[in-house]
């Protein structure tokens, strides 16, 4: 779904107004990353914050039985047009329309930081089968390249994945998370690089003049560094987190029928937060693009 951590109770429904822009401008996900986050074998998967179906396409390609959800009907309209065979529901993560122990995997890409975690995590635990897991996926720009770092300064939004790791580390309904990263590339041109920025929540909320100024700044950067009509390769690292549900059959969070309210409030010590490792410096196996300044 999106970019900036939300205040409690917000669900990111600002994107329907720019659904087409979002779909054109946002990167997809690599098959390897999605297989690690879910499984290479077909499973029952609930996708939260599915948006226009960028991740959903990869889940379906892996053979998973997918139920895609999003609180924004306009976003799901594009997903349904792309993947008419996929079951969808207009809903948030805080009230999942499913009975308990229904899914092998619950996954959220670019969306987890929008959830009201006190309500969503017990709900996610409730609908997971014993031994099932929650997966959280983010595309993070690789800002080792000068023009990508400059783009990051223009966008000026902090990456949400570190906060998401902290939430999962302290989550009572899940074991300690594991992490992995995968390289990803997005081809952008003069139009899609503007769409990428225009689809961000903080840019959507700007006034018309401020938004136009921001997009003009992005376009000037592209024209300064770009290579014309064939576009540029924008590098990402796809950051994946995975945490197995704690099987507590008698806990309220695992009732077989959907319940309202948060989970139990056990006073257990939490383990120290293990930060996501920083992006390493370029190595010989990196694409040569990592060292090119395109100017």
Q: What is the pLDDT of residue 136?
A: 97
Task: Classify 16-141+157-184+238-250 by CATH class.
Answer: alpha beta
Dump pLDDT digits (tens) for 174-219: 999 999 999 999 999 888 888 888 877 777 777 888 888 888 998 8
The secondary structure of 29-76 as a DSSP string is --HHHHHHHS-SS--EEEEES-TTSHHHHHHHHTT-EEEEEES-HHHH
Domain ranges of the chain: 16-141+157-184+238-250
Give the bridge partners for 181, in sequence order.
Answer: 239
Distance CA 218, CA 234 (A): 14
Distance CA 215, CA 101 (A): 45
Q: What is the pLDDT of residue 21?
A: 77
Please answer whether residues 46 and 103 qualify as being in contact, where contact means their C-beta atoms are separated by less than 8 angstroms.
yes
Q: What is the pLDDT of residue 253?
A: 45
Q: What is the pLDDT of residue 273?
A: 40
Which residue numbers in the chain have pLDDT < 70?
1-17, 157-162, 226-230, 249-295
Q: What is the pLDDT of residue 263?
A: 35
Give the bridge partners for 187, in sequence order.
Answer: 233
Phi/psi at 68 (5° precision): -100, 130
* CA dihedral for 173, 181, 196, 157, sign (positive or negative): positive
Q: What is the pLDDT of residue 232?
A: 86
* Order of strands across the sheet that contains 103-109: 87-90, 65-70, 44-48, 103-109, 128-141, 232-244, 178-188
Nearest to 78 by CA among 143, 4, 125, 26: 26
Q: What is the pLDDT of residue 230?
A: 66
Nearest to 121 by CA among 145, 93, 147: 93
Give the bridge partners for 66, in sequence order.
Answer: 45
Could you give the 3-state DSSP secondary structure of residue 2? coil
Could you give the 3-state DSSP secondary structure of residue 255? coil
Q: Which helix (H) or strand (E) holds 19?
A: helix 19-25
């Amino acid at each position: 779904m999106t970019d900036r951590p939300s205040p409690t109770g917000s669900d990111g429904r600002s994107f329907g107004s720019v659904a087409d822009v979002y779909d054109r401008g946002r990167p997809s996900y690599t098959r390897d990353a999605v297989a690690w986050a879910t499984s290479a074998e077909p499973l029952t998967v609930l996708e939260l914050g599915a948006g226009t179906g960028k991740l959903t396409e990869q889940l379906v390609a892996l053979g998973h039985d997918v139920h895609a959800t999003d609180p924004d009907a306009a976003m799901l309209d594009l997903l349904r047009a792309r993947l008419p065979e996929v079951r969808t529901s207009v809903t948030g993560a805080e009230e999942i329309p499913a009975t308990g122990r229904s899914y092998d995997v619950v996954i959220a890409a670019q969306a987890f930081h929008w959830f009201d975690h006190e309500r969503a995590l017990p709900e996610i635990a409730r609908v997971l089968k014993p031994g099932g897991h929650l997966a959280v996926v983010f595309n993070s720009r690789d800002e080792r390249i000068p023009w990508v770092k400059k783009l990051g300064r223009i966008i000026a939004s902090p990456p949400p994945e570190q906060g998401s790791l902290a939430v999962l580390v302290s989550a009572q309904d899940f074991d300690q998370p594991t992490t992995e990263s995968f390289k990803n590339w997005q081809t952008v041109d003069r139009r899609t690089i503007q769409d990428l920025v225009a689809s961000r929540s903080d840019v959507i909320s700007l006034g018309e003049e401020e938004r136009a100024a921001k997009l003009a700044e992005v376009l000037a950067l592209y024209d300064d560094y770009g290579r014309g009509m064939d576009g540029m390769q924008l590098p990402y690292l796809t950051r994946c987190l995975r945490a197995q549900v704690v099987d507590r059959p008698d806990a309220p969070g695992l009732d077989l029928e959907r319940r309202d309210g948060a989970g139990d409030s056990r006073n257990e010590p939490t383990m120290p937060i293990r930060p996501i490792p920083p992006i390493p410096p370029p190595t010989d196996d990196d694409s040569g693009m990592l060292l090119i300044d395109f100017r």
